[in-house]
Structure formats: C-alpha cells, structure tokens
Chains A and B, each alone.
Chain A
Amino acid sequence: MESIWAVVAEGMSAAAVVGVAQRSGLPVEAYVFGDSELANRVASYGVSHVHWWSDEQTLPETLAMSLASRAKEDMPTAVVSSDQATSRVLLGAIAVVVDAAVAHGIISVAPSDGGVKVERYVADAEAVEVLCAPGPVVCTIADGVAEAEPAATPAPIEEMEPEQNGSIKVLSTNEEGEGANGLQDAERVVGVGLGVGSKENVALAQQLADAIGAEVACTLPLCDNYHWFEHNRVVGTSTQKISPRLYLSFGSSGAPQHMTGVRAAKVIVAVNTDPEAPIFRECTYGIVGDVSKVLPAFIQAVSK
C-alpha cells in the first residue's frame, strides 16, 4: 500500500514534519529517533504507526543504511523530514538507496498522476514552484509550515532494537553548551538588530521583554562587533533556531543567516525604518518606523 514516511529526529520540527506528511493524504509511517516523550508526541498526531529508536541506545546516524534498506523494501511514495542535521544524514542515505528525486524546503507533497507533486517557495517566497517527479521523492520541509494537530487516538508505537554500525561514536557531549538560556522554549521573543542603535534602546527592548514575558535575542553583529550580548543570545545559522509563537524584531534587516533561525515562529513582527528592508517580505506584521520611538510606545501600551 502507498505510504509516506515522516522521519523525526528532533522535537522542534516534529509536528511540522508530520503536518506536511499528513496533508499528502497518504497513511503516515513515522520513524522517530529520540526519547519516549517524542515518540508519544508523534504517536498523538494521527499517524498510522510509530517506529521508535531510543537515541540513548542508538546514535541515529549509524542507522542510516539500515533505515535506507527498509525504505527500499517498503518503497514509500515520499519521505519527508526537517533540515536538522541528523535528519538530513538519514534522508541522504534513503534517497540514494531508493533512487529518489530530492528537494529541500518543500511546503507540500502529494501523489499526482502516477508520480509525486511537491511545492516549494522560490525567489525569496515571492512564488510557489510546482515540481513533479515519477517518484519516490525525498524532501526536507520549509520552516513555518502548518503543524499536525493531536488526534483522538494515539498510534501504536513499536520500539525498535538498538543497532550500531560502529563507524561513528560519541566521545563527549556538552549539552548545555553556551546555548541554554530559555530562548529555546520561549513563547515570545524580542529580537534586536544593529538598527537598535544604542545600549539605551537595548535596555528598552529588555524592558518590553519583561513586560510581555519574553526572552531577548539578537543578530550576530550585536554580539561579535559590539559585545552587547553573549553568543547564546544570537539567533540564526551560526547558533540556534527558535520557534516562539511571537517574534518581535527591532532594527534587523532580515539577513538570510538570521531569518533561518526565526522562520519557525508563528508570527513575526518587524520594526525597521527602511520600508525596503528584506525582513518586511518575511514578516506577518510590520511597522515602518524608528525603534527609539516605537519601543517606548510599545512599552507604554503593554504596561497600561
């Protein structure tokens, strides 16, 4: 029977990966690498079946070839995952073994006329391109796509035997690193960029964050060039991705290396003096204005 595989190797994008898979209309076979909480969460999204490897016992990358062999037997119509590193190692092995057409950053996938149709944003999300392949296809999803909702009955979870092929082994892990500061779990984040202009305005951003129960993040130059923030407050390709419900950005241009880190936010608000700033093409709401005027007005409005 036709199916789609949703490969989940981290929590942040799990609901989005399953969401894209579900909207294909095909039964979803979920392959989960992580803890039991992640397996239970994926099982609650209305998938057909969860195949779960505990990542305490198995380094997911070492399973790439055996997962690819399963895919060769099952021949799913499509395999989708996020662009997180472990997921891409798994997808790379599958794509080569099943001889798939490969695309990244897709927003939908569905069977079509005996083949598979996928859609993805092109030209800075100015348009959606429609692509067709004879199938199977292997794709990473775009950030910010609609997530799967919990279903009435959870799917069965099959715990898989741990395996190791030995070519990669973990020597040491610095879990906390420099990154543990609440940004990962924050519901709201106030982000500041170079346009914030002064330390006084950074203090206003912090005041706004405190008033609305938000964490503060920044763009790379505010850390690297100005040293106004620790590196663990930087959001983007070089540090971390975040997925708050609300991201309020003050004085950032919207460079791709920064936006990669915030695209999974539900709502993005941009405040920038330049109406042509790229961030206005990626936000839900914007104010064309000066942060030193908008920030005090914002603080006053939410403090009422």
Chain B
Amino acid sequence: MNLVEFESVTKRYRLGEVEVTALDSVDFAVRRGDFVAITGPSGSGKTTMLNLIGCLDSPTSGEIRVAGQPVSGLDDHALDQLRSRSYGIIFQNFNLVPVLTALENVMLPLYLHGLSKDERQHRASAALAAVSLTRFADFRPDQMSGGQRQRVAVARALVTEPKLILADEPTASLDTASALSLVDLMKELNTERRVTFVFSTHDQRLLQHVSRVVELRDGQLSGDDAPGAGVTGAALVQTGDSEVA
C-alpha cells in the first residue's frame, strides 16, 4: 500500500466561460521513503498536483486515497487533522509569519498538537538545529536571507515529524547555491530520517540529485522513473487509520 494514491484524477478549473484542465486522468502513487520531484514546464499542473496530494484542494473526478482511505469521505476537520499530523508543507515563497521569529514560526504547527510550550520550544529548536539555523532562532523572517528563510520553512515542515513533506518549487526563489544546498538538506533528511519528500521544480540541474522524477506535460503524466524498490506505506496506515477516521 502507498502513502498517497491517485486513480485517474482529473482537475478542471473554470475561468468564466473557459474550462482549464489542469490535471488529466493522472494515476500516481507516493511510497514511503520516496524522494520525488515533479517536473514540467510552467502551467503543466505541478502546483495543482501537489495541492491535491496535500488535500488542499479536491479533484473534479477520480479518487485520491491517503493511507488507503478515500479523501472524499473526510470532512473539514478530519482534513485539518490529516494535514496537521501527517504532512509538512513548504512553499515557494517560504510563507513564514512575518511577525514571528524563526523559532516561533517553527513552533507554530506544534500548536495544534497540544504540547506544552517548553516541549514546543524544545522540538522547534531541534528542528532548527537540523537545518543548521540554531543561531537564527530569534531572528524575524525579514532579517534573514532567502535560503535561510526556506530552511526555516523546512524546519517548520519537519517539526511535526510528518510522514510526508510536500514542497512546491521550494528553490524557485533561491540562488543556485542556496537551491542546491536546500536539495542536499532535503535529501539528507530523506535518507537519515526516512522522511518522504514530494516537491516540484522546473530546475533541471536539481534533478540529478533526485531518485524519482515525475514529469508532467499539459496536465498529463509523461514520465515516471519510479524505482520498483519502494517501501510500502504500512507505517502511515497504522497510525493514519485512527487519525484519518
């Protein structure tokens, strides 16, 4: 079984009179431990696909299953829970809360986990350490560089120890060096902590560091070099069942 499964998922957007098919009958699966890059030109549907994986949007047709459970059967609250417990999300524009310090930004997701403040601080510091930003704990986003900010975003995604981290063009706002070091960081977390990553990029230079590349073209899957040896999503299923139900 897989962490996330797509079965002929189609997503259409209505723009007034016009209907845009952003994703067209996509079959796809993410397995535990995967390090997946979704690539393709601008407008090919990468963001749409990540949003669907992250349950931030719902498909027009087809079925999405998380840990074997159809997402269409979940209500708002269950989806909030799922995102909070199982996912970490990184955005292209970092999306840090400008009025909070790096540490506080990283603590934010833990807020929903019912932890004491000390515990939250402790875990957030550990996450910041994992992205080598301990020194910047008390800095606000506008006092940090783009690369540093995105590492804060990674730390924030990591801090809840999610099964899956989704990142939509995390390197798009970074210079090449920062971009490479970010991908290295993600890869390292993937191998050392077995965190599953799905991220989108149209930067060809990054793809050589990635084990599995999924290519989108006009909303259709035009390539998926999925290695056969993926680990199943059993771990997610065990904890996920109770959380998702």
A binds B: no
A residues whose Cβ falls under 8 Å from a Cβ of B: none
B residues whose Cβ falls under 8 Å from a Cβ of A: none
